[in-house]
Each structure stands twice: as C-alpha cells, then as structure tokens.
A and B are shown apart, each in its own frame.
Chain A
Amino acid sequence: MSTATTTENKDLAPVSTESLAALLVAGERPPRPSAWSASMTFGWRAVLKIKHVPEQLFDVTAFPIMMVLMYTYLFGGALAGSPKEYIQFLLPGILVMSVVMITMYTGVSVNTDIEKGVFDRFRSLPIWRPSTMVGYLLGDALRYTIASVVMLTVGIILGYRPDGGVGGVLAGIALLVVFSFAFSWIWTMFGLMLRSEKSVMGVSMMVIFPLTFLSNVFVDPRTMPGWLQAFVNNSPITHLSSAVRELMAGDWPADEIAWSLGWAGLFVLVFGPITMRLYNRK
C-alpha cells in the first residue's frame, strides 16, 4: 500500500474487530453542530476540493485576466481616448461583471455533485438543512475573492489607480462578494432544478449575458436609448457596479450600496427557499 498507482492491493491491513467494538462502545454522541458550524464545515469541504482539484481555479484566474485585457484594449481607445484612461472607469465594472459571471459555475458544480452518493449521507444527517448549500457558497465566496484580487492586480499593472486606497478597494470587494454570494442562490436553484450540466450552462448564459452587458459596466447609460436606460438604470448589476466604482474611488455611495444589498437580500429570500425546497425533494 505504499505506491499510489495501484487501486487494488493484496496486502490491505485486516479489520480489527476488537478495536472496532471498543470504538463503538466508547462513542458518545456530542450535541448537534450549530447552523454556523455546519455551514463552515461544508465551506471547508469546498476549500478541500479546491486543494485537490486546483484546475477549477482556472475560471477565477485566467478568465478574469482575459476579461480585463480584452475590454481595456478593445474599447479603451474608442470610448476614453486611451486604454489607460478607460481602465479608470472600466476596472470596477469589469470586476463586477466577471465575478457575477463566475457565479454561474456554482450551478454546474451543484448539479454534478448532487448526483453523488455522498449527498445521501449529508441529507440523512441531523443538521441545519441549508448548511450544505451555504457551505458551497462560502467556498465560492473564496473563489470570488481570488478573482477580484487577480483582476485588481492586473488592473493596477495596466495603470488603474483607485483613489479610495486600500480601504475603498476592500469595501468594494466585500460588497461584491456579499452580492455574489446572494446572487448564487439563483444558480443553486437551477443546479437542483435542471437535469443536466449542459442545460444548467445554457440557462445560465441566457440569464447572465443580458444582465451583465445591459448595465453601466462599459459605458454611461445616458448614451443609450430611453427604453434601454429604464432597464439599465434599475438593473442590480448597475447599482452594484456604481457602488463598487465609487467605493474604490473613495466615495460613500449610500444609495447604491443600499440598492445592492437590497437586491442581494431579495435574491436570498426568493431563491434560498426555492433551493431548499428542491434540495429536500431531490
């Protein structure tokens, strides 16, 4: 059993029924874990999965870098005169857009994970039921934070200078991560509702593309036709990217923060219960 290459092994150590019997007697039952503790344990599971399958960090590293480079140089010259000028406006917005886009992988991983035997065990445990899903999203929050740090680093290399300093930047990221955590409940719902990974991806794209592009991430909404302005100005993504942009610029946009958190609360209140209903029925 010393080489990792073989799966079948002839010299598997025997089961010790004596020590097993002793363990069965000795085991006293501790009190059930709190909702918080159970959720954190599932969050730890998500982190362990990242540790064992680090490739899954690709979408929070390479993808965000690509987004920043692509849009800075594609639109920079046309919209702001130069990429360096444009990135001052673009970076907080593209940060919001990319992280919100990344949230959709939550649905895919829930969809594939839920079919595995281990979920039967989780569901037969006497724990706070939503903790499994909350744990997922806590693990994802870590991924969102990684993506944010990666993008900011690239942005700063390209010339982005946040006037809000470290405090403003941290506040912006915190708001973005909280919003994304709440927004992800949409994907847990779809992940449980739809049959296949492909359909989850399909539906996610249908939601995420219009929602993120029809916002003030790239351009000022005042350049848009009236009917589109009506949509864009009320989009949660617009509120969020305004809030993050101003926080990083050193302002305190109380209205936009309130709007962002309000939307976040609404997402949890609506999609959280639907997710749990589907989870209990699965």
Chain B
Amino acid sequence: MSTQTTSGLAIETAGLVKTFGETRAVDGVDLAVPAGTVYGVLGPNGAGKTTTVKMLATLLRPDGGEAHVFGHDVVREADEVRGRVSLTGQYASVDEDLTGTENLVLLGRLLGHGKQAARERSAQLLEAFGLTDAAGKQVKNYSGGMRRRIDIAASILNTPDLLFLDEPTTGLDPRSRNQVWDIVRAVVSQGTTVLLTTQYLDEADQLASRIAVIDQGKVIAEGTKGELKASVGAGSVHLRLRDPAQRPLAAELLVRALDAHVQQEHDPVALTARLSAAAGDDSAAEQAARALNELARAGITVDNFSLGQPSLDEVFLALTGHDTHESRDADDKTNSKTDDEKDEVSA
C-alpha cells in the first residue's frame, strides 16, 4: 500500500529540537521507526511526547534538527507528509458540537470523498466501531471510550500509512482501554505504521515492538521490549509486613537474598524490592518465592505480597536515577508556553 523508502523507515528524526521560551520541550530527539510496526514512545507528562508528535504531524515547526516521514521532510514537504499521516490527539480531535456522523462526513469530504461516498464510509466506520446508536448524537455527549472510538474512526477514514496515537487510553476505564488496544492491533495488521505515545509501560508492552523512553525532551532508552525490560529489571516485589519494627531486618534479608534494590516506602510496613533481570536465570516468580522463604525463616510475618511488572516510576528510577514526580506537574500541552523550568532533582 505504501511506497517504502529504501531505508524502510516510516519516521526518521535527527537531533529534533523544540523550545518554548526557556523550556526545551524536545531536546535533540533521534528516532528511527520501522514501517509497518507499532512504535511506543513512553514517558511522563511534560516529557515532550506530544510536542514530538506535533512536529512529526506538521503541526509545529521544529526549532532544530530534521524529521522525515516516509522520506519526506516535515517542513519542506509538509503537504506530502499530511497526505500520508493521521493524528489522534490527546484530547478528542473531533468537533464536539457536531454529531458522530457529521464529524466523519465532514472529514470524509475534506479528504476528497464525494457526498455519497463520505456518507457510506462514515456509516461503515460507525458500525465497525459500535457507534451506530450514537451516530446522531453530538460528540460532547459521548463517554470517554466513545470519544476515543470516534476519534480513531476519524483518523482512518482514509487508511493512513502512519497513524499517530497520542496517549489514546489516558483516562479510560480498563475495558475501553482493551477495546482501543484491539483497534490498534487491527489497524497495524493492515500495514499501517503506528506511533503510540503513552504513560503506561504495560500499554507499550502490549502493543509496541520497539519502545523509546523519553524524559525532559530526550530519549533516555530505546530498544525492543526485551532489551528495555532487561535494562529496567524483571519486576518488583511489593511486601507489607505485620510489624513495622521488622522492616529493617526484612530489607536486609531481601538485599542479601535477591541482590535487589530495596526501597522502604512511606507506609511504615511496606517494602518494594526491584528485581534485577541479571540475577541468574531465575524468573521473577522464582526470585520472589526465594525472598518469601527467607523472610519466613527469619520469623517475619508478611501480610500482603504482590509481584508486579516494573512500573513507569521504576523504569524512570532505573534509567534516570530520579523518579517521574518532578516532571509530572508540567503539562504536556505544547501550547502552554508558561511551563516552568523543571527542577533537577537527583535521587
């Protein structure tokens, strides 16, 4: 469907920079996104994800560096790029005053379909997205999940070669989230490249084949899912003890047994041990079992236990040495030029 460039890359950027006043929202981003895949861009609010997407979708002009989409320069050949990409923004990129049908027909007409063709295509898409019943209602009355659906439907009126999904599941309930994931899989299976930004590691894990972790405008890690996880660790064991007085001993035991980084939480009975992937060939579960054994032998009562994937906080702690909280206050909305400079807090 798409005429691939010789490199087979859907997106290629080199030293991409965007500044808003004093803030370097995007600070030298290099990306290479293979065509036909889902590429995850993972990072907290304010990391520069949306700004990067906006530059790639020709909505913002880069202040430095270069970006090519299917070999076309996003500044000099913006129109070529626009013909091949679709954007689904963080906030529904549809007209809230119009109905679902009107939105799709409007965009269908703008994409060059005749009246009849635009209507047919809209009806088919609404049907496929389970929105037929809501077709005649104004989008402002839609639920969050329905909005995402109509938004994605609007993005695939013409099957794009590259689809930008900017935090498609933020604020959705788990069920709607799963449905969005199904849609993304269906879109990719037909050959469309997807650039997905997300704050959730499990989302990137579910959908993306390669992931770039971005923080304060810079790519701080990039690779396949396996590579990324290995660099972060195998997961975390969360423990709640019955007796807070036993916590120091428990921490000591865990460090010895697992060779893990152990964090004492605010909650005086809680502990988190970050398992390292390099700790022998043991799986995370085996390591956790060993830890529980050690604690039981020392007479420490564990009230509650869970084994989790590394969270985004943990990814950040591992990759940057600081957690995500200081950039969480900053708004990722690129229009707000008032973003304060983020404090550098080192752990």
- Residue on B with the closest CB to A25? B190
Cβ proximity bits B113-140 to A, threshold 8 Å, 1 near / 0 not: 1100100010011011111111001100
A88 to chain B, nearest CB (A): 42
The reply to whether A118 and B158 contact each other, CB–CB distance below 8 Å, is: no
The reply to whether B128 and A12 contact each other, CB–CB distance below 8 Å, is: no
The reply to whether B182 and A15 contact each other, CB–CB distance below 8 Å, is: yes
B contact residues around A126 at 8 Å (CB): 79, 82-83
Chain B CB within 10 Å, residue with most, of A1, A27, A124: A124
Comparing B85-93, B269-277, B312-320, the segment that makes contact with chain A is B85-93
Chain A residues 11-44 with CB under 8 Å of chain B are 12-17, 19-21, 23-25, 27, 29-33, 37-38, 41-42, 44
B contact residues around A122 at 8 Å (CB): 110
B136 to chain A, nearest CB (A): 10
Interface residues on A, range: 35 or more
B contact residues around A2 at 8 Å (CB): 133
- Residue on B with the closest CB to A5? B141
The reply to whether A117 and B97 contact each other, CB–CB distance below 8 Å, is: no
Say yes or no for A9: interface residue by CB 8 A criterion: yes
Say yes or no for B32: interface residue by CB 8 A criterion: no
What is the bound-complex CA distance between A122 and B58, given in angstroms? 11
The reply to whether A121 and B142 contact each other, CB–CB distance below 8 Å, is: no
Comparing A48-56, A142-150, A226-234, A245-253, the segment that makes contact with chain B is A48-56
The reply to whether A41 and B189 contact each other, CB–CB distance below 8 Å, is: no
Q: Which of these, B107, B129, B156, contacts A15 with CB under 8 Å?
A: B129
Q: Given A41-B109, A45-B106, A125-B111, does the pair A13, B132 have CB atoms closer than 8 Å? A: yes
Q: Given A12-B146, A13-B132, A117-B94, does the pair A23, B89 have CB atoms closer than 8 Å? A: no
Q: Given A32-B112, A41-B110, A124-B87, does the pair A19, B335 have CB atoms closer than 8 Å? A: no
B151 to chain A, nearest CB (A): 8
The reply to whether A32 and B83 contact each other, CB–CB distance below 8 Å, is: yes
Q: Given A25-B190, A30-B117, A48-B102, does the pair A16, B130 have CB atoms closer than 8 Å? A: yes
Q: Given A13-B133, A19-B127, A120-B59, does the pair A27, B143 have CB atoms closer than 8 Å? A: no
What is the bound-complex CA distance between A234 and B254, given in angstroms? 88
Cβ proximity bits B291-303 to A, threshold 8 Å, 1 near / 0 not: 0000000000000
The reply to whether A125 and B110 contact each other, CB–CB distance below 8 Å, is: yes
Cβ proximity bits A174-211 to B, threshold 8 Å, 1 near / 0 not: 00000000000000000000000000000000000000
What is the bound-complex CA distance between A25 and B189, given in angstroms? 10
Say yes or no for B159: interface residue by CB 8 A criterion: yes
What is the bound-complex CA distance between A33 and B111, given in angstroms? 7
- Residue on A with the closest CB to B61? A281
A contact residues around B86 at 8 Å (CB): 124
The reply to whether B145 and A124 contact each other, CB–CB distance below 8 Å, is: no
A contact residues around B83 at 8 Å (CB): 32, 126
Say yes or no for A223: interface residue by CB 8 A criterion: no
What is the bound-complex CA distance between A118 and B86, given in angstroms? 12
What is the bound-complex CA distance between A123 and B59, given in angstroms? 7
B contact residues around A17 at 8 Å (CB): 182-183, 185-186
What is the bound-complex CA distance between A126 and B161, given in angstroms? 14
What is the bound-complex CA distance between A120 and B335, given in angstroms? 12
Say yes or no for B210: interface residue by CB 8 A criterion: no
What is the bound-complex CA distance between A117 and B166, given in angstroms? 12
Say yes or no for B149: interface residue by CB 8 A criterion: yes
B159 to chain A, nearest CB (A): 4
The reply to whether A14 and B87 contact each other, CB–CB distance below 8 Å, is: no
What is the bound-complex CA distance between A30 and B154, given in angstroms? 16
Chain B residues 169-222 with CB under 8 Å of chain A are 179, 182-183, 185-187, 189-190, 192
The reply to whether B143 and A8 contact each other, CB–CB distance below 8 Å, is: yes
Say yes or no for B73: interface residue by CB 8 A criterion: no
Say yes or no for A255: interface residue by CB 8 A criterion: no
B122 to chain A, nearest CB (A): 11
The reply to whether B59 and A124 contact each other, CB–CB distance below 8 Å, is: yes
Chain B residues 49-106 with CB under 8 Å of chain A are 54, 57-59, 61, 79, 82-83, 85-87, 89-98, 102, 106
Chain A CB within 10 Å, residue with most, of B91, B117, B128, B183: B128
B contact residues around A120 at 8 Å (CB): 54, 57, 59, 87, 89, 93
The reply to whether A24 and B89 contact each other, CB–CB distance below 8 Å, is: no
Say yes or no for A157: interface residue by CB 8 A criterion: no
A contact residues around B125 at 8 Å (CB): 23
The reply to whether A121 and B94 contact each other, CB–CB distance below 8 Å, is: yes
Closest 8 CB pairs of A and B: A13-B130, A30-B112, A126-B82, A24-B190, A121-B93, A117-B91, A1-B133, A126-B83
In addition to A4-B141, A48-B106, 16 A-B residue pairs with Cβ atoms within 8 Å of each other are: A4-B137, A13-B132, A15-B129, A20-B129, A21-B186, A23-B128, A24-B159, A27-B156, A29-B159, A30-B117, A33-B111, A45-B95, A48-B97, A117-B89, A118-B96, A124-B58
Query: Would you list 13 pairs from A and B whose C-beta atoms are within 8 A, ordered by A residue?
Result: A1-B134, A13-B131, A14-B130, A15-B129, A15-B130, A15-B183, A23-B156, A30-B113, A41-B106, A42-B110, A44-B109, A117-B93, A281-B61
Q: Which residues of B contact A (CB under 8 A)?
A: 54, 57-59, 61, 79, 82-83, 85-87, 89-98, 102, 106-107, 109-114, 117, 121, 124-125, 127-134, 137-138, 141-143, 145-146, 149, 154, 156-159, 179, 182-183, 185-187, 189-190, 192, 335
